[in-house]
Structure 1
Amino acid sequence: MTERIVVVGAALLDAGRLLAARRSAPPELAGRWELPGGKVETGERPEDALVRELREELGIDAEPVERVPGEWPLRSPYVLHVWTARLRPGSAAPRPLQDHDDLRWLTPDRLWEVPWLDQDVPAVRELAARLGAGAR
């Protein structure tokens, strides 16, 4: 049995809005939207990976708040764990630095206006329920 590799996704929330990031790479994912994040390195805590990935991908200083219940399969051996997160006071505004070419803050009523990556849809549904948004 292959050991699972955890990928952390950030549900970055600010004033009730969720940050979505549009992929620019790899080609098969380009143009679709996701929760930013990345792989947890060996020996790294998921919360620390989330902070590191958000710094690398978006140039921000964020803090994890809580894990969203559930895990979602990605292509084997990866599984997605999602954490809510917020910008730390004094953090720069998010900007697409790596693997993304656009960012959008989505209010709960607009969560479904972007074409999410298939593997992120169940996590976004869970977030929508938490934000009091309509399901899809």
Structure 2
Amino acid sequence: MVVSMSKLVVAAAIVDELSNPQVLLCAQRSYPAELAGRWELPGGKVEPGEDPAAALHRELAEELGVRVDLGQVVPARIAQLDEATRQAWRELYAQGGRYQDQVDGDFSANRPQDAQEARDWPLVGELRMRVWPAQLIPAGTPELVPGEGHQELRWVPWDQVFDLDWLPADLPIIAAIRDTLRPDLAD
């Protein structure tokens, strides 16, 4: 299954410093009503024909007025998803035997197409998210003004990140980001 770029959402786990991250930039949604007040990573949708990394740079410039350096994509880790989401992935990816052995663990990419898919996290319906760690140019933790899509932007220390009311689909992604950037804090 190749994810159409129009169904791909990109996000950045913006930290103070990629080499030794102490805080994560968290964004509180302002809409729609059922998601307002929940926390997410900044980012947005990829337009048809747009490169995903370029889309992320565009979204961050539009939403936050910032430029970033991107790290390596944080790949999907199926084992970190709740059982209902894993079951949905089993149904989605087990077609034709693909991913049957990997659905309960990390993806192992055997073909270029599989490698592309393994980078994308499931969201709602057919939406998928690709996430990069990032740091601002220049690096730091300036006070940022939220755009129309967010009520608040907050730099949060890693030991307090899970105290926020995250969108449910973002929780395993946040855990994977923490484990990747701060293995000393991994569960």
Give the TM-score normalised by the residue count of structure 2: 0.66
**More off after superposition, 44-53 vs 81-90:** 81-90
Correspondence 1:77 to 2:126: yes
Runs of 5+ consecutive residues of structure 1 not aligned to the other structure = none
Q: Percent identity?
A: 43
1:77: Cα distance to partner?
A: 2.0
Count of residues in Structure 1 that have an aligned counterpart in Structure 2:
135
Q: What amino acid is the match of 2:150?
A: H
Q: What amino acid is the match of 2:128?
A: V
Counterpart CA distance in 2 for 1:52 and 1:78 is 19
Counterpart CA distance in 1 for 2:15 and 2:3 is 31
Equivalent positions of 1:1-136 (< 5 A) are 4=4, 5-15=7-17, 16=21, 17-70=23-76, 71-89=120-138, 93-130=143-180, 131=182, 132-135=184-187
Q: Which has the larger share of strand?
A: 1
CA distances 1:62-92 after superposition (whole Å, capped 9, x unpaired) = 2322211112211222101111111112897
RMSD of aligned Cα (Å): 2.1
Q: Secondary structure at the match of 2:129?
A: strand
**More off after superposition, 65-74 vs 44-53:** 65-74
Kindly report structure 1 stretches of 4+ aligned residues shifted beyond 3 Å. Answer: 1-4, 90-93
State the structure with bigger RCO (CA 8 A, min sep 6), 1 or 2.
2
Counterpart CA distance in 1 for 2:65 and 2:13 is 16
Contact 1:12/1:86 (8 A) holds in 2: yes
Contact 1:51/1:64 (8 A) holds in 2: no
Runs of 5+ consecutive residues of structure 2 not aligned to the other structure = 77-119
Contact 2:10/2:56 (8 A) holds in 1: yes
